[in-house]
Homo-oligomer: A and B are copies of this chain.
Amino acid sequence: MNLVTLEDIQAAADLIKGTAVRTPLLPCPWTAPDRPLWLKPENLQPIGAFKIRGAYHAVARLTDERRARGVVAYSSGNHAQAVAYAAKLFDIPAWIVLPEDTPRVKIEATRAHGAEVVLVAVGQREVRAHEITEQRGATLIPPFDHPDVIAGQGTIGLEIIADLPDVDLVLAPVSGGGLISGIAAAVKALRPATQVWAVEPELAADTAASLAAGELVSWPVADRNRTIADGLRSQPSALTFAHQRALVDGIVTVSEDEIRRAVAEIAHRANLVAEPSGAVATAGYLYRADELPKGRTVAVVSGGNLEPATLAELLATR
């Protein structure tokens, strides 16, 4: 299987320039000298998550004629907003298929970008999205299972190496695997000695199980939906799993309590609002030190879209 290349990711960086924010690395002086931490705040992207990189890149790569007929997406939320936002920038129609239990804040944000939101029962998203593409002649933009999406997310890896060339360890959350696949493809090509580790909620640890088994292991959707990290309830595709087997050095899992505490720590120490999914990599750094390599560490804060009431609750219960 062909993996995304450094050249693919460098080309993506040119295409998304000016649309995705060039996020800085934020030093965290409160961390230990033998494993100093920098945060990569992707929650500061225009749609509040890294997903704008891959989604905009995939839409930008369509031919003018094909793009004009519109785009379709199904996702747990942030990818939907990213596709809707990209469609608005290109002035094309967008249909977004979301599960009924999607947080309200994400549904409203998607509509605010001018997209048509289609709510369906859990598990019915893919079927309905494909129906719409056939009816409308629009193009499906998948949340992770596409080389253009992976290459877009990989631009995060380029920026990490540019800003901190001697980074020892990069931590990113894993779910469908587009983010960690792209980052690993960039980082390992530029600096093979840097370790790239995935962090996953214990309650949706299908990727940890798959990497241990050496093949894709499926978890029931009802099991994966238990985690508060609502952006991390998907499973890898064959394409993203191939990237992970080839390029990812290890994986750790974190508990629900650790994810909640990490949201509060990131808010109070780094002044960033992270959604639970966005706090998972930092939770790995904070609470799995014994399982991780030491050295200069970057944790990707992948998103920050959560209900105001949930945020207030997580901060109050620190």
Interface secondary structure of A, over-half rule: mixed
Asked if A46 CB lies within 8 Å of chain B CBs, one says: yes
Beta-carbon contacts under 8 Å, A84-128 to B: 85, 105, 112-113
- Contacts known (A268-B311, A273-B272, A311-B268); A26 close to B21, Cβ less than 8 A: yes
Asked if A165 CB lies within 8 Å of chain B CBs, one says: no
Once bound together, how far apart are the Cα atoms of A309 and B44, in whole Å? 24
Which of B22, B24, B273 is in CB contact (< 8 Å) with A271?
Answer: B273
Decide: B29 and A268 in contact? CB cutoff 8 A. no
Q: Which residue of B lies closest to A305 (CB)?
A: B271
Whole-angstrom distance from the CB of A29 to the nearest CB of chain B? 5
Whole-angstrom distance from the CB of A294 to the nearest CB of chain B? 21
Number of copies of this chain that the complex holds: 2
> A29: which B residues are within 8 A, CB to CB?
46-47, 85, 113
Once bound together, how far apart are the Cα atoms of A46 and B264, in whole Å? 18
Decide: B22 and A44 in contact? CB cutoff 8 A. no
Once bound together, how far apart are the Cα atoms of A318 and B307, in whole Å? 12
Once bound together, how far apart are the Cα atoms of A271 and B24, in whole Å? 15
Q: Which residue of B lies closest to A48 (CB)?
A: B271
Whole-angstrom distance from the CB of A296 to the nearest CB of chain B? 15
Q: Which residue of B lies closest to A24 (CB)?
A: B21
Decide: A268 and B308 in contact? CB cutoff 8 A. yes
> A21: which B residues are within 8 A, CB to CB?
24, 26-27
Decide: B315 and A311 in contact? CB cutoff 8 A. yes
Decide: A267 and B30 in contact? CB cutoff 8 A. no
Whole-angstrom distance from the CB of A313 to the nearest CB of chain B? 8
Decide: B30 and A44 in contact? CB cutoff 8 A. no
Asked if A225 CB lies within 8 Å of chain B CBs, one says: no
Beta-carbon contacts under 8 Å, A242-288 to B: 264, 267-268, 270-274
Asked if A304 CB lies within 8 Å of chain B CBs, one says: yes
Binding site for B on A (CB under 8 A): 21-24, 26-27, 29-30, 41, 43-44, 46-48, 85, 105, 112-113, 264, 267-268, 270-274, 304-305, 308-309, 311-312, 315-316, 318
Q: Can you list 10 contacts pairing A with B, beta carbon distance less than 8 Å?
A: A21-B24, A21-B27, A43-B271, A268-B311, A271-B305, A272-B272, A308-B318, A309-B316, A312-B312, A312-B316
Q: Which 4 A-B pairs have the closest CB atoms?
A: A271-B304, A312-B316, A271-B273, A312-B315
